[in-house]
Chain A
Amino acid sequence: MTATADNSRAADSGATLSRWLAQRELDRVTLLVIPAVAFIILLFVYPFFYGLVLSLQPKTGDWLANYRKFFSDPWLYNTITTTLALAIPSTIINVALSVPIAMRVRRLHRRRILTTILVVPITLGTVLIAEGLLNYLGPQGWFNRALMFFGVIGSPVRLVHNYTGVMLSLIISGFPFAFLLTLSYITGVDPSLEQAGATLGANARARFRHIILPLLAQGLAINICLSFVQTFSVFPSAVLLGEPAGATRVISIAAYQAAYEAYDASMASAIAMIMGAVQLLIVAAILATRSFLYRGSAGSGKG
């Protein structure tokens, strides 16, 4: 009995392996992920560990000297709060604005045109937006001149080279991304759910609160994470539109200065590692709230 079983098992060994793979849904097509994996290892995993090791080999002092220096110098550690003071409000503003606008836009017939207009700022990139804002919002820009012409203000308002300028640029460049993501989540909510809510006596506000928002919460959490990561690594607009030595000295500026002004690659790597850790912490906190939210599909069962 056992002998026969062993024999057949031996004869089948080739077939068994392919069956074992098939049951795990692995076949030759799976090999196509190899280039992508290689790419990630080469361009992300390797540089990350290279940077980590580099940050632990300071010019002077023991292996933690860079980190100790960062957290003992307010000129350095304050960049974390400065960056958060820009990234958190702009993320919240972008995502919060995107919801009502996307709710309205999903019913439009010409959605495509609007979407195209909104994608433009993404493709232009932050530098061009910063240059535009400098001209437009500067002391001699159209905005101030128009306000002065109509007598609204007596002297130009300062809108650039400070916190406001960077904030405005983060909203302009970040909003389209937040909006497109929210729009795709909102259009994923089955419209018949809202209709069912209406026939059950729920007005527009109640439908949003009890039906749309809970189904959207999951997507909004992801949206907040992605928008936050984008704004946290702000660099060009903080330099061009902000006050890079003061109110908008963000953490990426500190890293840049360490690398290209002090030529301390080890310190720069340490700052980059700290930057990554802060981002990871915030993203983890947001994702942790997901466990309280509904996580299934936003469809309406079978259909």
Chain B
Amino acid sequence: MTIAARDFRELRLEGMSRNFGTVNALKDVTLGVKRGEFVALLGPSGCGKSTALNCLAGLLTLTSGSIWLDKTRIDELKPELRGFGMVFQNYALFPHMSVRRNVGFGLKMQGLPKADIDRKVNEALNIVRLANQAEKLPGQLSGGQQQRVAIARAIVIEPPLVLMDEPLSNLDAKLRLEMRAEIRRIHDLIGSATIYVTHDQEEALSLADRIVVMRDGEVRQVGTSEQLYITPAHADVADFMGYRNIIKSTATPAGGKIRVKVGGAEIDATPIEPVTSGKAVVAIRPDELHVDPNGPIAVTVDSAQYHGHDFYCSGKMADGTEIYFRSPARTKRGDTLRLKVDPARALVYGDQGQ
């Protein structure tokens, strides 16, 4: 295999900001990415993750801040001089060129001899398992195949950095799982750094070495999948990581732990952010609320959906607040149950910004 990412040590974003008119789409983003790392930019639409990616590619200029590749400042370079591979959300394949010419385009622009282009294109097409489709036009391929061509086209120029903008969002669910594994395999094979933009937390958690959670143009938390999943640093991040129960509450300190009110009951919980005012937000994942006859939280079931392993339920607590939980046994609307939660898994945040 000769397709391998160009060598570098670190890509650094320093105070990267971008305004659109009076809107700050990107506020002071600082981040380092090492060679071989797979980093996901995760956040809801409009959080600035695509803006960040376009700034990296050079398709948008920065309002302030800088981007460095080792000791070279690159944020003022035009996109064609950066040499990063980019995979677009709509693939952006050239519709009038065959698969072979699409993939070879970057090499042709570098002025490589035709024999070298052919050899590298064949190799890239082998990597994405499309060697037998080389002479077709993009319009003759399925969505998944077009996606593979887009990836081959981005990696064949041996970029130090591959940028991917929600590459799986146009594929159906089954193909998405397949391509997810493919993308990680190709990343590991060529050894580049990959920056992957997505709004799908599951995709980010399963693919990335590190995840950057963004909201309103700011970085909220950077960490490994486990760190983000187990201890999200903000209520926002918790919300994005599947903590469906974000309950406004009041808190009283009790030793190293903290006691919070949830639906009229008082439970022990773990503070993540300091709570000063007494007001707090409690975040609990639905699968960490267990049905237990001696549990402190009383709930009246509103609905229960069968999901194979267990039932996804929603209900109302004593004070009328909605709560989501799972039940191993069949329940129905109107049933009353009691729930408990491990104090380590009820996370408490200050109520700023809520």
Contact = CB atoms under 8 A, between A and B. Distances in A.
A298 B93 CA distance: 10
A154 interface: no
A294 B157 contact: no
A299 B84 CA distance: 23
Interface residues of A, number: 26
Interface stretch (B135-143, B287-295, B320-328): B135-143
Interface string A276-303: 0000000000000000001011111111
Interface string B104-139: 011001100000000000000000000000000111
B90 interface: yes
B85, B95, B141: residue with the most chain A Cβ atoms closer than 10 Å:
B95
Given A195-B79, A300-B95, A206 B109 contact: yes
A301 B93 contact: yes
A201 B110 contact: yes
B95 A298 contact: yes
Interface string B58-96: 110000000000000000001111111110111111111
A296 B141 CA distance: 14
A255 B146 CA distance: 57
Contacts of B93: 196, 300-301
B83 A201 contact: yes
A1 interface: no
B153 interface: yes
Given A198-B79, A202-B80, A193 B105 contact: no
Residue in B83, B109, B110, B137 whose Cβ sees the most chain A Cβ within 10 Å: B109
A79 B224 CA distance: 80
B57 interface: yes
B92 A195 contact: yes
Nearest to B156: A200
B276 interface: no
B90 A215 contact: no
Interface of B: 57-59, 78-86, 88-96, 105-106, 109-110, 137-139, 141, 143, 146, 153-154, 157, 163, 170
5 contacts: A193-B95, A195-B79, A198-B80, A199-B57, A302-B170
Interface of A: 190, 192-193, 195-203, 206, 210-211, 214-215, 294, 296-303
Given A201-B110, A296-B139, 20 more contacts: A192-B88, A192-B90, A195-B59, A196-B94, A199-B82, A199-B86, A201-B80, A201-B81, A202-B105, A214-B96, A215-B95, A215-B96, A294-B95, A296-B137, A300-B88, A300-B94, A300-B95, A302-B91, A302-B143, A303-B90
